[in-house]
Structure 1
Amino acid sequence: MVATSPLELPTLTVSDPVRRKKILERLSPLILTPGQQQKIHDIFLDEMRLGLAAKPEKESSLLMANTFIPELPDGTENGEYLALDLGGTHFRVIYAHMKNGKFDEEIVDYYHVPSEKRLGPGEELFDFLAECIANFIQKRQLGGRNFQLGFTFSFPMIQKSLDVGILVSWTKSFNCPGVVGEDAVRMLNDAIKRQGGLDITVTAILNDTTGTLVMGAYLDKRCAMGMILGTGCNGCYIEKVERIEKWLGKHKESEVIIDIEWGSFGDNGVLDFIRTQWDDAVDNQSLLVHSYTFEKYFAGKYLGDLFREVLLTLAKEGLFCSGGIDILNTHGAITATNVSNIESDSFKGVTDETKAVFDNLNLIYDDDDLHIALYVAGILSYRGVLLVSLLSGILLERMKHDHCTIAIDGSLFQHHPRFRPLMEKFISDTAPGRSFDLRLAHDGSGKGAALTASIAERLKKRSSR
């Protein structure tokens, strides 16, 4: 087997030319044509326009939320801050000490959110969070001082200010009644007061994507885009205030971070022209059907099942594996990590990882089956990189910065061997001549939240003068 480049469109090598032709024709909907790419480009620009409009003629699938963060770390950050990072079944409480714009000390504790708190009354969830903060303060001997807290709340929300975030909908494994439509900051501040003995004020709310941009700017002042590319996918960028029609009133700020919430791009049907039967199958098996359309095309939570569904179809049609295919009916049997490992085989010119995955699944296979799996993993990954790169390039063209560092966090970007190199190529193709680089900005949801609390403090001091 010959090693291939991550930049090349995958090719299929099997011994039977008739079988090869059938597979290529069957999977052709997964390869986006230049015309489809241009259509995605135009639709995304229009969805952004609708999302920023004061009175759009129709609803956009993009939230285009104002984060109310008008500036980024500038090197003057000093003092002690707390951060709370909530977005999954585990959350973190973080203490950060900053000196002359740098992290001087950081303490992190992890807490598990039991299912009864994730599904029970919202007030009880926030009381639980406040209890954990109190536990952290006591355990780490941080009592007797005032703290400002940055709250990473990784759920769709509409912000009214830097310290007001109205929950739009729960996602993932959370569904607490009494929170949708309410301000998560107010609920957490109220819970902290009920807890008693704490001198803590939540001064900023953000999501992990925004935190990644803020963390990216800490690492490189030229950072103007943030992205999560892991279990899910989202992007944010710096927008000119004059372009935000729905932000009414007078504002001193010239720019602000906009949280696009592009994971839901296409929830209104505008991307149905690229949708395949395998995308439908994955969507129908998901917790939130007909939502988060864009990220379901490639994000880590779904990539393994997309791969499995394609192989299942080929197996049913007699084009893949001679036996043991019942496992391919099982949701979650193949993970994004498996797909990443199979992709690494392609670039090394081997099939070791692919064999390991197949052996674990007890599939009966030959060399051609291994090559088919390599091809399927390749074209699914290629499609995903192309989609996320199209959107990234559009933002680069929109911002027109001399140079833009794109801060990215997430396991797909970190570990999938095709994503980074191919993103660099595709973004360059989408935004020719635009100078950019991709930078891993780990822990935007933690350190980014602490940095945002410091920015909030700076803004408050400035406005009180």
Structure 2
Amino acid sequence: MRTEKDRVVEFLDHYQMNHQRIVMAECCDRFLGEMERGLEGNHASLAMFPTFIEAEREIPLNERVIVIDAGGTNLRTGMLYFDDAGQAVIENFTKRPMPGSTGVVSKSEFFDAFADALRELADQSDTIGFCFSYPVQMLASRDGRMMRFSKQIQAKGVEGELLIANLRDAMQRNGLRSDHRIALLNDTVATLLAGKTASRERAFDSYVGFILGTGTNSCYIEQNANIRKEPGLDAARTQIINVEAGGFGLAPTGQIDRDFDRTTVDPGYYTFEKMISGRYLGGISHQVIRQAAQDGLFTPETAERLGQLPELNTFAVNQFLHQPDRISHPLGAALSAATGSDRVILYLLLDSMVERAAKLAAVNLAAMVLKSGCGTRPDRPVCLTADGTTFYQMKGLRFKTEYYLQQFLTEQQGRFFEIVNVDNAPLIGAAIAGLIN
């Protein structure tokens, strides 16, 4: 007699959604290959943007810097400095919705929202650390050209524009001073830099930044000599590379992934992000549940109630995995009259989606460490500074990611790592970028 697990595995196999399809070594090799092609300037799904930001310099103390964190959901601003003990102090913190996250905005509306957020801060420092969490091609001038939006942001006329130049224009248009020294970076680079604050009493061989929240991305420190698409760099120095990992296009997708991708605002783009990040994990899980209901994995009444769910977000998936018997959340309510078998099947399906996300996150992180060439000594591991509510709050995700990293990266590849969490990493990293670059 087939168990609930047998039925779930058979279903996932049929739609190519089983995490066991992902072979760590094979998928990591594909990731590394795309990294190499991106560094060479060849066509690749990984952009491998040079950031022109170094990580080696000392952080000055007691020097205030304005910080902006334009994330997947929120636009956060504040004033930050590092005290005599090297601890970050954040003042005048504010948070508002990211422009374009709740509806379409124009180019002027998009940048005016940033100027408005800086209204009370603009005169308090000569320096701005600007963390912008979307694909940007950094230029040697230290400005950056917006490539494309992810995370469902809708802002017309912004793609292809220079961010710092447009921010200055908006500040002038809104009556603010605009002569600041501005350091532009993304949230992943900021997270890497924030990891430096964790190394005051701990020696690390190198640093990696990793985001798994609304979206996902990673970065690492590369030798300039290996960045062949940027001639003229000082080959003796290093800089942070923004991988744009969410764009990885060679992960083993399944039929349900491809069906779900067609429902998003940017089909064909950022397919890796759509497999693991908080913006999409609820949506892909919803698609899996609806298909399972159509295929008869649940009893008829439960299948009907699950099929009537209008949508499902990642928060609701997490609620069910933490408390599968409660009826105060959407999935629990849909299963209020379900059999024990229905509940087990639903749990196994959702847990499998988390397991797959963790395995793919481990592929990403392993590739960063291997490409860096560092972490060969257990006493000097690579610092993996991770940020994002999905990584830390989704039930089992961090634990499963560390399991696959330990199994593949340490036991098979002989590389050592330590995952570090820094509160307010994007803000702290933005401040560091402003102060040392």
Is the aligned partner of 1:242 residue 2:225?
A: yes
The worse-fitting range, judged by mean Cα deviation, of 306-315 and 254-263 is 306-315
* TM superposition score normalised by structure 2: 0.87
Query: For residues 149 and 102 of structure 1, do their structure 2 counterparts lie closer, same or farther at Cα, with a shift above 3 Å needed?
Result: same
Corresponding residue for residue 30 of structure 2: 43
Corresponding residue for residue 146 of structure 2: 167
Secondary structure class of the residue paired with 1:218: helix
Alignment check: 8 A CA contact 1:324 1:362 kept: yes
1:438 is aligned, of 419, 422, 429, to 419
Instruction: Find the aligned partners of 1:446 and 1:129 in 2 and give their Cα distance.
Output: 15
Corresponding residue for residue 369 of structure 2: 396
Instruction: Find the aligned partners of 1:384 and 1:68 in 2 and give their Cα distance.
Output: 31
Runs of 5+ unmatched residues, structure 1: 1-15, 346-350, 457-465
| Aligned CA-pair RMSD | 2.8
The worse-fitting range, judged by mean Cα deviation, of 200-209 and 43-52 is 200-209
Instruction: Find the aligned partners of 1:282 and 1:202 in 2 and give their Cα distance.
Output: 42
Secondary structure class of the residue paired with 2:44: coil
Query: For residues 41 and 150 of structure 1, do their structure 2 counterparts lie closer, same or farther at Cα, with a shift above 3 Å needed?
Result: same
AA matched with 1:92: R
2:45 is aligned, of 20, 42, 61, to 61
1:138-287 map, 5 Å? 143=123, 146-161=125-140, 163-198=142-177, 200-220=179-199, 222=204, 224-251=207-234, 254-266=237-249, 270-271=250-251, 274-287=252-265
| 1:131 to partner: Cα distance | 3.1
Secondary structure class of the residue paired with 1:446: helix
| 1:53 to partner: Cα distance | 0.1
Is the aligned partner of 1:17 residue 2:2?
A: yes
AA matched with 1:216: G
Query: For residues 336 and 114 of structure 1, do their structure 2 counterparts lie closer, same or farther at Cα, with a shift above 3 Å needed?
Result: closer
Alignment check: 8 A CA contact 2:37 2:44 kept: yes
2:281 is aligned, of 274, 280, 303, to 303
AA matched with 2:36: R
| 1:33 to partner: Cα distance | 4.3
Corresponding residue for residue 461 of structure 1: none
Alignment check: 8 A CA contact 1:212 1:448 kept: yes
Instruction: Find the aligned partners of 1:407 and 1:53 in 2 and give their Cα distance.
Output: 27
Corresponding residue for residue 76 of structure 1: 60
Query: For residues 309 and 130 of structure 1, do their structure 2 counterparts lie closer, same or farther at Cα, with a shift above 3 Å needed?
Result: closer
Instruction: Find the aligned partners of 1:325 and 1:436 in 2 and give their Cα distance.
Output: 44
| 1:240 to partner: Cα distance | 1.2
| 1:162 to partner: Cα distance | 6.9
Instruction: Find the aligned partners of 1:423 and 1:284 in 2 and give their Cα distance.
Output: 28
Instruction: Find the aligned partners of 1:164 and 1:309 in 2 and give their Cα distance.
Output: 40
Q: Give a deviation string over 1:267-317, Cα, whole Å, max 9, x none.
A: xxx33xx22222123212222111110011121122222222222222212
Instruction: Find the aligned partners of 1:362 and 1:343 in 2 and give their Cα distance.
Output: 13
1:334 is aligned, of 295, 300, 312, to 312
| 1:40 to partner: Cα distance | 1.3
Corresponding residue for residue 453 of structure 1: 434
Q: Give a deviation string over 1:49-75, Cα, whole Å, max 9, x none.
A: 110004x2xx10001011111125634
Instruction: Find the aligned partners of 1:188 and 1:232 in 2 and give their Cα distance.
Output: 23
Corresponding residue for residue 348 of structure 1: none
Runs of 5+ unmatched residues, structure 2: none
Corresponding residue for residue 26 of structure 1: 11
| 1:153 to partner: Cα distance | 1.4
Instruction: Find the aligned partners of 2:141 and 2:419 in 1 and give their Cα distance.
Output: 27
| 1:210 to partner: Cα distance | 0.9
Alignment check: 8 A CA contact 1:185 1:202 kept: no
Instruction: Find the aligned partners of 1:338 and 1:117 in 2 and give their Cα distance.
Output: 20
AA matched with 1:106: E
| 1:198 to partner: Cα distance | 2.2
| 1:18 to partner: Cα distance | 7.0
Alignment check: 8 A CA contact 2:100 2:154 kept: no
* TM superposition score normalised by structure 1: 0.82
1:86 is aligned, of 52, 66, 70, to 70
Corresponding residue for residue 365 of structure 1: 338
Instruction: Find the aligned partners of 1:105 and 1:318 in 2 and give their Cα distance.
Output: 53
AA matched with 1:125: F
Alignment check: 8 A CA contact 1:148 1:453 kept: yes
Secondary structure class of the residue paired with 1:79: coil
Instruction: Find the aligned partners of 1:180 and 1:244 in 2 and give their Cα distance.
Output: 25
Query: For residues 172 and 115 of structure 1, do their structure 2 counterparts lie closer, same or farther at Cα, with a shift above 3 Å needed?
Result: same
Alignment check: 8 A CA contact 2:220 2:240 kept: yes
Instruction: Find the aligned partners of 1:382 and 1:19 in 2 and give their Cα distance.
Output: 17
Q: How many residues align?
A: 422
Secondary structure class of the residue paired with 1:305: helix
The worse-fitting range, judged by mean Cα deviation, of 290-299 and 189-198 is 189-198
Q: Give a deviation string over 1:333-387, Cα, whole Å, max 9, x none.
A: 3322233334346xxxxx4248955442366410011111121122111111111
Report percent identity of matched pairs.
26
| 1:125 to partner: Cα distance | 2.7
Is the aligned partner of 1:375 residue 2:360?
A: no
Instruction: Find the aligned partners of 2:431 and 2:326 in 1 and give their Cα distance.
Output: 40
| 1:196 to partner: Cα distance | 3.5
The worse-fitting range, judged by mean Cα deviation, of 196-205 and 161-170 is 196-205
| 1:129 to partner: Cα distance | 2.0
Secondary structure class of the residue paired with 1:17: coil
Instruction: Find the aligned partners of 1:20 and 1:132 in 2 and give their Cα distance.
Output: 51
Secondary structure class of the residue paired with 2:134: coil
Instruction: Find the aligned partners of 2:190 and 2:18 in 1 and give their Cα distance.
Output: 33
Structure of larger gyration radius: 1
Instruction: Find the aligned partners of 2:137 and 2:279 in 1 and give their Cα distance.
Output: 25
The worse-fitting range, judged by mean Cα deviation, of 112-121 and 279-288 is 112-121
AA matched with 1:76: P
